[in-house]
Amino acid sequence: MRFTRAQRYLHAVLFTTFLGLAATGLPMRFSESYWARKFASGVGGFGAIIFFHKLCAVVLTLAFMVHLKDVFTRGVVNREKGIFWGSNSMVANWKDVKDLFGHLRWFLGLGPKPHFGRFAYWEKFDYWAVFWGMIVIGFSGYAMWFAPFFARFLPGWALNAVLVIHSEEGLLAILFIFSIHFVNTHLRPDSFPMDMVIFTGVESEEGFKKKRPEEYSKLENEGKLAARISEEPATWLVNFTRVVGTIAILIGLVLLALTLSAYFRE
C-alpha cells in the first residue's frame, strides 16, 4: 500500500481539472490557430471555454486547499513525524542531490543505480513543480479574473505581467506534465503503459522492492513491512482506472501535439 484513498482521489481531481484547464486554456493561448477556433465554436464559443476554465480552476483550488489542510493537520496538529523532514518527506534533502547525480551516472553506465526512498528526487520535483505552479498560475489567474479588485493593491503593469506569467507557466506545466511526467512516471519501460499505483493505491511487493529499495529495506529492518501489506485491488477498480488513465494520457498527448504544433508555428 503506497497511497491512501484520499491521496488517490486528490490525484484524480488534480488530473481531471488539469486536463480541463489545459483543454480550455490552450485555445485561449493559441487563439489564432485553426484548431483553437474550431474547438471553441464546437463547445459553444468563448463563453463556454472561460466558464469551464474557471470551474476547473475553482475545483482545483479547493483540492489544493484540502491538501494544504491535510499536510497542516498531519504535520502541525498531529505532530506526525517525517512530514517536513526525513526519508518519507516531500522536502528535498542531500540524498536527493546525490541520487540525481548517481542516477545520471547510471544512465551513462558509470555507476550503480541509486537506492531510491519513498519519494525519488524526480517525484519530489513533480510535487514541488505542481505546488509552485498552482500558486503562480492560480494567483495570476485570479488576478485576471478579479482585475479591478487586484488593481487596488497591484500596480497597473502587474495586470500586463499576470497574463504573461499565467500563459508561460501554464505552458510549462502542460509541456512538463504531458511529456516529462507522463514518461518518467507512466510510459517508461518499467511502468508502461502506466503506473497503476496512483489509481489503485497498491503495487506488488516485488515492484516496490525494485523501485524503492531504500524504503523497502528500511521497513524490513524496522519490522513494519507487514503493516504496509494490503489486499489486492478489485478487478473492476483495476480495469476502470486503467481505462480512465489511458484516456487521460491520450488526451494529454493530443494536447501536447497541438501545443507543440501551435507553439512552433507562432
Partner 1 sequence: MIRAVVNRATSSARPARRARAFTRAGILAALLLAAGSGTLRAQTDCLSCHADQGLQDAAGHSVSVNGQKFASSLHGSLKCTECHTTIKEYPHPDTVTPVKCETCHADQAAGLAGSVHSNKADHPCTSCHGDAHSIFPKDDPRSAVYPLNVPRTCGACHGNDAMAKKNGLPNVYPMYIDSIHGFALSKEGLLVAANCQSCHGSHNILSHKDPASPTYKANVPKTCGTCHAGITADYMGGVHGTAIAAGNMKAPVCSDCHTAHAILQPTESEFRMQSTPICGSCHKDKLSTYRDTFHSQLGSLGGYVETARCWDCHGAHDVLPASDPRSPVNPANLVKTCGRCHAGANASFVQYQPHANAHNRKLNPALYFIRLFMNLLLAGTLTFFVIHTILWLIRSRYDQIKSRSAKGGKNA
Among 94, 189, 206, 222, binds partner 1 (CB under 8 A): 189
Q: Which stretch binds partner 1 (CB under 8 A): 187-195, 214-222, 237-245, 254-262?
A: 187-195
Instruction: Find the shortest distance in angstroms from Cβ 50 to partner 1.
Output: 7
Q: Is 185 in the site for partner 1 (CB under 8 A)?
A: no
Please state at what angle helix 45-72 crosses helix 5-29, rounded to 10 degrees: 150
# of chain residues touching partner 1 (CB under 8 A): 53
- Is the Cβ–Cβ distance between 106 and 112 less than 8 Å? yes
Q: Which stretch binds partner 1 (CB under 8 A): 43-51, 57-65, 200-208, 228-236?
A: 43-51
Q: Which stretch binds partner 1 (CB under 8 A): 157-165, 202-210, 211-219, 224-232?
A: 157-165
Query: CA torsion 258→247→193→253, rounded to 10°?
Result: 0
Q: Is 137 in the site for partner 1 (CB under 8 A)?
A: no
Q: Is 262 in the site for partner 1 (CB under 8 A)?
A: no
Instruction: Find the shortest distance in angstroms from Cβ 248 to partner 1.
Output: 19
Q: Is 44 in the site for partner 1 (CB under 8 A)?
A: yes
Closer to partner 1 by CB, 40 or 194: give it.
Answer: 40
Instruction: Find the shortest distance in angstroms from Cβ 142 to partner 1.
Output: 14
Cell digits of residue 218 = 528500511
Question: 166: closest CA among 127, 135, 128, 129?
Answer: 135
Handedness of CA 71, 73, 77, 81 (dihedral sign): negative
Instruction: Find the shortest distance in angstroms from Cβ 74 to partner 1.
Output: 29
- Is the Cβ–Cβ distance between 170 and 29 less than 8 Å? yes
Among 97, 151, 227, 250, binds partner 1 (CB under 8 A): 151
105 vs 99: CA distance, rounded Å: 10
Q: Is 45 in the site for partner 1 (CB under 8 A)?
A: yes
- Is the Cβ–Cβ distance between 98 and 195 less than 8 Å? no
Among 1, 91, 161, 237, binds partner 1 (CB under 8 A): 161
Q: Is 97 in the site for partner 1 (CB under 8 A)?
A: no
Among 155, 222, 223, 235, binds partner 1 (CB under 8 A): 155
| Chain contacts with partner 1 (rule: CB under 8 A) | 27-29, 31-32, 36-37, 40-41, 44-50, 103-104, 106-109, 122, 129, 144, 147-149, 151-152, 154-157, 159-161, 163-165, 168-169, 171-172, 175-176, 179-180, 183-184, 188-190
